[in-house]
Amino acid sequence: MKYVLDSSVAFKWVVTETLSDKAQLVRDENRHTVHELLSPDIFPIEIAHALTRAERQGRITASQSAVLLADVLSTCPKLFPSLPLLRRAVEISSRLRVGVYDCLYIALAEQEGGELLTADTRLGNLKTTFTFITELSSLP
């Protein structure tokens, strides 16, 4: 399966929370070449942001952040430049009033003909408009 991987799923690889088991299964299957994972090149930045936010919330320590980032990046999806996706992302963002960052993932899934896998409820709610959006919770 070709998945455009939202950073919300990869965050669950290293910070245990609801659905981490399903996220880990996707990662394990990727390691065994069951899935092809793709993301826009903002992916590492979004992961770093989520980890530093988890630090500020006291969910992880400051010393864990760099280690966890390296862990995620060790199985980083294939990254695609955001700039060519930006025009379409802005169109989607303006029409649906959703953040441009999220729309970059949607634009990449459209471009590459893959499913967008997300653990973000707001993004998952767009599956009526974009039928290729798959919520992590829906995986077996």
Quick one: pLDDT band at residue 62, thresholds 50, 70, 90?
A: confident
Query: Is the CB of residue 23 less than 8 Å from the CB of residue 13?
Result: yes
Tell me what percent of the chain is helix, strand and coil, each rounded to the nearest 5: 60, 15, 25
> For 113-125, how does the pLDDT look when each residue is reduced to its tens digit (9 = 90+)?
999 999 999 999 9
Three-state DSSP class for residue 36: strand
Quick one: pLDDT band at residue 9, thresholds 50, 70, 90?
A: very high
Query: Is the CB of residue 54 less than 8 Å from the CB of residue 15?
Result: yes
Higher-scoring residue by pLDDT: 62, 81: 81
Q: 92: closest CA among 65, 58, 68, 116? A: 116
Domains of the chain and CATH, by start: 2-138 (3.40.50.1010)
